[in-house]
Amino acid sequence: MSRISRADFWQSIRRGWSKHCPHCGQGPLFIRWNTPHRHCPACGYLYERDYGDVWWVWIVTDRIPIGIGIVFLFFGFRVRSLWMGIVFFGSLALPLLLTIPRRYGLAIAITYLIRKRWPDPKDSFPAPSGSR
């Protein structure tokens, strides 16, 4: 088990949120809007060692806005017109749709930090070529 400094933690999170490799910060995470590279084009870091590694983060970040909507409904918010329903649904769905690549990048960064904190002997990390 290896310690991760607070600076390294936040640097990896920022890199993932900005859709760059959490290891080197140079390579892009995605080929297109939401299609990830298998490896970092700059340093060769393997983003997902096993397919599905990032699903838990993906599911949690999807549920937060939905949970906010449920809380509003629980505490008495009622949709009284079609337009109010469109605005309410849109205010929940639009952030989910617009942040898909950033949340996916965040999930890859958190998975990277977990792999650094609790390394597997079969897992290898490339030497960082530079920092961003």
Distance CA 106, CA 15 (A): 8
pLDDT of residue 91: 85
Distance CA 31, CA 86 (A): 33
Measured CA to CA in angstroms, residue 25 lies from 11, 16, 91, 97, 130 at distances of 9, 8, 32, 24, 8
Q: Please provide the average confidence, as pLDDT, over all residues in the chain.
A: 86
Examine the pLDDT at 132 and tell me if it is beyond 70. no
Examine the pLDDT at 129 and tell me if it is beyond 60. no
pLDDT digits (tens, 9 = 90+) for 35-92: 889 999 999 999 888 777 788 777 877 787 778 888 887 888 888 899 988 998 888 8
**pTM of the entire predicted model:** 0.79
pLDDT of residue 12: 95
